[in-house]
Structure 1
Amino acid sequence: MPTGHDLTGLMKFLGRDEWRGCFEEVFDDHFGPALDACGMEFDDLSETLGHDWAMTLWGCAFEDFLTQDFEGQASNIVDDYVKRRGWKETAQSKAYMMALRTSIMSLYEVSNVAPGQSLMARDLIRGGEPITVSEGTATKTLKQWDRIAARIVPVMGKNVLAGGLLPFTPQATETLFDGLRGTFGKRNARKLPALKDEELQAVASMFTLSWLFDTLDRAMGRPLLQNSDGDDIVFHDVRFPLASGVAQRDIAARLNSIPGMVQENAKFWNWMEEVPQGSDKPKTAEATTLDTLMDSGWRVIGNAELKDRLLHLSANSAARAKNGTDLIRQALGDLVRTPLTEIRTVEQMMAERPGKHTQTPSSSIPPEIAEETIHEFLDRHYLDTLDQPVAMLGNKTPRQAAKTPAGRQKAADWLKYLENQTAKQPDPTHPMATYSFEWMWKELGLRDLRQ
């Protein structure tokens, strides 16, 4: 039996001669520029992004098509269908179709998610207070402060989400906003222009294209993880075989002579680098920075470890691995032989889950102790971050940004981004997922913007 939001009959009606050509025009508006730029056909999206995303994208174009009027005796497909075939549909189905007929695609910020029940949605383009949306499926995966491009339509006294829902990254958001500023205002303006509903309705394809360009870019390999030097994260394990007759104590003595090598125990060293104030390259909005900064103000840029007859140098980028290799060769000379290097990407590291190895040591640290330790580390890390330049804040520190009205909103958006990324941990009980950013909102005086 069809559901209250079933559009099967309307989709079949799309095959009629008078509507097929009109839909092709709308379809090309939504996908043509992105597909042409990537040398792809629409069918290729199923292989690149997955069948479900390809169907969601098709749905975005279809829902936009339902809102449009064309020349001819029947100017809109919903009006035509309801007139000819409406008697076949339930009252709820017809109400849903008519709501889509006048619907508007916009960008919303999600909050107060009740899985399987509802969410609050704040329109980031048209403004206004957040509204309650009844939703059973998407709320099972959406997280606090997610941004979604969607159509929210009133049906039988409730606000519901239409099927064409696209999650927006900060990069896709900026692409969309830049396009809106260029179309309706000044491209270099800080604020979005005030848009009428009919103006926003006319540029629905801009949402699809912004999402598609961003997603295809990432799917085709754009790096998302960097270290503080701005290098793409690629893990290097450089293994130096010890020369015949060389003892580990001989290696230790030479390693201790390398500037920045700090010995932790008999077989392990942290390779440290002093961090002068303001020396970090600004973090980019599209990349997450991975690095460890000690309380002393020194950054860990690698490790050295003696294992059996090998000296292992670990670093998270090609540049750091090369620099460390040169330092070790210079200090150790003929005590080590020509090294071999193993390189692993982030994806490969993530694929190495417990169970794939014959020996997996179990942790003896109680979960509550591990959580406390990680939370203390994150406290120190983010306290330091408050005084570091952030690209999302115009290369200002969070404390500097929070001193101006415009900066306060940017700082609030930055905090929401941090909370949102943390909430997306696969394991909701992981210490990263349970970390609270409440103190940062209070520290920056932004608690009034946490809504």
Structure 2
Amino acid sequence: MNPNSFNLSALVKFLGRDDWALQFEEVMGDHFWPVMDEFGLDHEEIAEVLGNHWAMTLWGCAFEDFLTQVFEPDGRKFVDIYLKSRGFKETARSKAYLKAIGTSVISLYEVSEIVPGKSFLARDLLRGGEPVAVSEGTATQTLRQWEKIAARIVEVGGTNVITGGLLPYSPEASEALLEGLKDMSGKKRSRKKLILDDDTLRLAAPLFTHAWLFDTLPRLLGDDQPLVCNSDGDDIVFHEVRFPLEAGITEKDIADRFAGIDDLRQENPQFWNWLGQRPTAGAARPGHPDALIAGVTMEDGTPVLGNLEVKGRFLALMVNSAERAQRGAELVQNILGKMVRTPLTTIQTIEQLKAAHQGRRSSPDDIPPEVATPLVHAMLDKQYRAILDQPVAMLGDITPHAAARTKAGRKKVAEWLKYLEMRSQSGPKPDDPMATYDFSWMWRELKIDDLRR
């Protein structure tokens, strides 16, 4: 059963009676005023930034919160007054749905076992308990395994359904919400898992709107571009430094000079990886602590600083920062000397690379999915197997294998794997090789597959 099949237009129209509209505006203010003050936007401007779908979803979140409110001095509840006055016009199922909303609470859920068009499992992250099966048609088309959502789940006729206001939460929004709930509930200093009761969650309903908007609006307004750096802590800016070869110099001459250089590992006659030093255990992470680290490593964990490739009459150095471009150019010139001439450099930012990729149409030269998928999956197998024995920031800078040896560590490893799985499915195409990668072997390897639920 799809909750969207319930028509609430008569209920919304009933808002115009007596002073209900004014009371609803107060609830709307609780959900939106702090955000409006922070961003200097009115409600209409926020709706314009979000688009009609999300503006209506947020309106629905506030409206459903309003339906749960008990108003003094006589303890009135809007749903009860409506059903007493107009309930004869509603079906038995609709009346059951409205009564269920009136006693519902919003919570943060983790999604799993999605059956598109039919159902999913939802684990309540704030009240605890086992996952419950939810019957849902529309949202299951876009939900991702292990995604976190803010929603109200109600039981109607023995079936769990979601109401209209469902918000997908990023990991950052989830963390902000949890911090806000700890502050509100007075459990900020507690090290125990946050467990809240229904009364606390009813009071906290506006926080769910705040957390989602404070995470979403900066990205839509272009104010919150993620900070990305490489493993050296340098800002990511892609450089290609092209060294023209002097007359008479061949690729064999280049290979002979590069042979025996410890920092260069040859992959084929024209291609070398430029390697750095493996980080020592416990070493401080370079760069901004909140930055995303982008980089490639060899199977043994050695970082790859860049690549060198002979392309016709050029030797191309490809790196991802200005600092590495300078170091790499000096390395090449020290090794090759007069075998190369003055280099030419081209630069591309992350934004330019994304724009170029988004504007590119597919061509017959693109690798077909049936060819790309096994190649990408084999690469990911190799990469993730190496990561299992490397320090991971989400695990407190210890390796997954080490973390999985303790009860607390097992839970952290499970969260880390769920994060990897969810992120792998975030691309626009469900058949993308990244989206179809199967992480189940990692759960088994770490002996925590009992937590994959």
Question: Hey, what's the Cα distance between the residues in 1 that align with 2:311 and 2:53?
Answer: 47
Question: Hey, what's the Cα distance between the residues in 2 that align with 1:167 and 1:256?
Answer: 51
The answer to whether residue 256 in structure 2 is matched with residue 262 in structure 1 is no
Query: How many corresponding residue pairs?
Result: 446
1:264-314 deviation digits (Å, cap 9, x = unpaired) = 344433222131443583999977644322124422222233434554332
**Residue 225 (structure 2) aligned to one of 210, 222, 227:** 222
Question: Hey, what's the Cα distance between the residues in 2 that align with 1:83 and 1:286?
Answer: 54
Question: Hey, what's the Cα distance between the residues in 2 that align with 1:387 and 1:3?
Answer: 47
Contact 2:245–2:315 (CA under 8 A) maintained in structure 1: no
Which deviates further from its counterpart, 25-34 or 287-296? 287-296
How many angstroms does 1:326 deviate by? 4.8
Distance 1:191 1:168, change over 3 A: farther
Contact 2:255–2:269 (CA under 8 A) maintained in structure 1: no
The answer to whether residue 347 in structure 2 is matched with residue 345 in structure 1 is no
Contact 2:79–2:99 (CA under 8 A) maintained in structure 1: yes
Question: Hey, what's the Cα distance between the residues in 1 that align with 2:23 and 2:226?
Answer: 39
Which deviates further from its counterpart, 113-122 or 75-84? 75-84
Match for 1:438: what amino acid?
Answer: S
Secondary structure in 1 matching 2:43:
coil
Partner of 2:440: 438
Match for 1:423: what amino acid?
Answer: Q
Partner of 2:370: 367
Distance 1:68 1:432, change over 3 A: same
Question: Hey, what's the Cα distance between the residues in 1 that align with 2:423 and 2:337?
Answer: 45
Match for 1:339: what amino acid?
Answer: L
The answer to whether residue 52 in structure 2 is matched with residue 51 in structure 1 is yes
Match for 1:262: what amino acid?
Answer: R
Which deviates further from its counterpart, 113-122 or 314-323? 314-323
Identity of aligned residues (%): 48
Structure 2 regions of 5+ residues with no counterpart?
A: none
Question: Hey, what's the Cα distance between the residues in 2 that align with 1:20 and 1:367?
Answer: 57
Partner of 2:303: 299
**Residue 449 (structure 1) aligned to one of 441, 448, 451:** 451
1:40-94 deviation digits (Å, cap 9, x = unpaired) = 2333334433332222122211111111122356833222322333333333333
Partner of 1:356: 361
Question: Hey, what's the Cα distance between the residues in 2 that align with 1:192 and 1:15?
Answer: 43
- 1:190-269 matches, within 5 Å, as 190-219=191-220, 220-223=223-226, 226-231=229-234, 233-234=236-237, 236-240=238-242, 242=244, 247=249, 249=251, 252=254, 256=258, 260-269=263-272
How many angstroms does 1:122 deviate by? 1.0
Contact 1:34–1:209 (CA under 8 A) maintained in structure 2: yes
Contact 2:236–2:349 (CA under 8 A) maintained in structure 1: no
How many angstroms does 1:419 deviate by? 1.8
**Residue 400 (structure 1) aligned to one of 399, 402, 406:** 402
RMSD: 3.4
How many angstroms does 1:159 deviate by? 1.0
Structure 1 regions of 5+ residues with no counterpart?
A: none
Contact 2:400–2:413 (CA under 8 A) maintained in structure 1: yes
Partner of 2:422: 420
Match for 1:435: what amino acid?
Answer: Y
Match for 2:231: what amino acid?
Answer: S
How many angstroms does 1:339 deviate by? 2.9
Partner of 2:275: 272
TM-score, normalisation: structure 1: 0.86
TM-score, normalisation: structure 2: 0.86
Secondary structure in 2 matching 1:167:
strand
How many angstroms does 1:176 deviate by? 1.4
Question: Hey, what's the Cα distance between the residues in 2 that align with 1:44 and 1:248?
Answer: 62
- 1:84-103 matches, within 5 Å, as 84-103=85-104
Partner of 1:163: 164
Partner of 1:378: 380
Question: Hey, what's the Cα distance between the residues in 2 that align with 1:284 and 1:211?
Answer: 25
Contact 1:180–1:192 (CA under 8 A) maintained in structure 2: no
Partner of 2:320: 316
Question: Hey, what's the Cα distance between the residues in 2 that align with 1:433 and 1:280?
Answer: 32
Secondary structure in 2 matching 1:14:
helix
How many angstroms does 1:324 deviate by? 3.0
Distance 1:237 1:101, change over 3 A: same
Contact 2:392–2:398 (CA under 8 A) maintained in structure 1: yes
